[in-house]
Amino acid sequence: MTTSPTAARGHVMVVDDDALFLESVSTNLSNAGYLANPFPGGEEAVGYLTQNSDADLLLLDWKMPGITGIEVMQRLRANNIEIPIIFLTMLSDQIYEEAGLLGGAVDFIEKSRSFAILLRRIELILSGEKNRAFAAQRPDGQDVFDSGGLILRFDSRRASWNRENVDLTLTEFNIVAYLAENAGRDVSYRELYDIVHGEGFVAGDGEVGFRTNVRAFIKRIRQKFRDVDPAFSNINNYPGFGYRWRNGSEQ
């Protein structure tokens, strides 16, 4: 079945060195109404994305010869290509998931899971739920948020702290903005996780999984702020619940 770009539910790139798996997933995606664009390796995918911006989502094999999945993601992010990435893997060790999520991936799925599960994850990500959940919290009509040394520019998704640029990914920017706009309030792990994955999304490890993922993001965000200000301490943890953005005047 061939799906035209204009009729497709979305354009999904599939990158995997396993020819049979690549064909199976691509065919299933086409049958589900998506424009599936298969690539046998990372170099080909990077080459395509540096020349084209029409893809909506990247399904990326974690372990490939030549250039690995994590290296593909690093190259894309270095070139400011922010396409959502779902890693496909045979590995289940949590350290790999954390590495992928910190680098900017939106999900991490084992190849043994059924296509129905993969399809549901794709639908959730492409539905735009996470963007709507975040957009509802933006200050009406404001392109710039300026408070207590933090400046967030929503038009370019750029952040600065005490006039120093903080190099945040799009997801990290959204998390910081949500915390800062809710300064002084304890924000739950679930709320922050919804920003990353979309409202109602459930990780394979359930509550433990999404808390672990949020902690990983916060750890990376804190380090980026401390790179420009070693005394940075505005993100406080409420153990067992979530995090709070503390303004300088708050005790």
pLDDT along the chain (251 residues), means of 10: 54 94 94 93 94 90 88 87 84 55 66 85 69 48 82 84 88 88 90 67 51 86 95 92 81 47
What pLDDT, on a 0 to 100 scale, did the predictor assign at position 82? 80
What pLDDT, on a 0 to 100 scale, did the predictor assign at position 43? 94
Region for 157 from its dihedrals, namely left if φ exceeds 0, alpha if ψ lies in -120 to 50, beta otherwise: left
Angle at 239 between CA 231 and CA 149, to 5 degrees: 30
What pLDDT, on a 0 to 100 scale, did the predictor assign at position 104? 57
Backbone angles phi, psi at 108, to 5 degrees: -150, 110
What pLDDT, on a 0 to 100 scale, did the predictor assign at position 161? 96
Instruction: Determine how β-strand 235-238 pairs with β-strand 242-245.
Output: antiparallel
pTM above 0.85, yes or no: no
Residue 86 and residue 62 in contact, taking contact as beta carbons nearer than 8 Å: no
What pLDDT, on a 0 to 100 scale, did the predictor assign at position 24? 94
Domains of the chain (ranges plus CATH)?
11-127 (3.40.50.2300), 132-245 (1.10.10.10)
Q: Beta partners for 88? A: 61, 109
Cα 126 to the chain's mean position, in Å? 12
How far, in Å, CA of 199 to CA of 150, rounded? 27
What pLDDT, on a 0 to 100 scale, did the predictor assign at position 219? 92
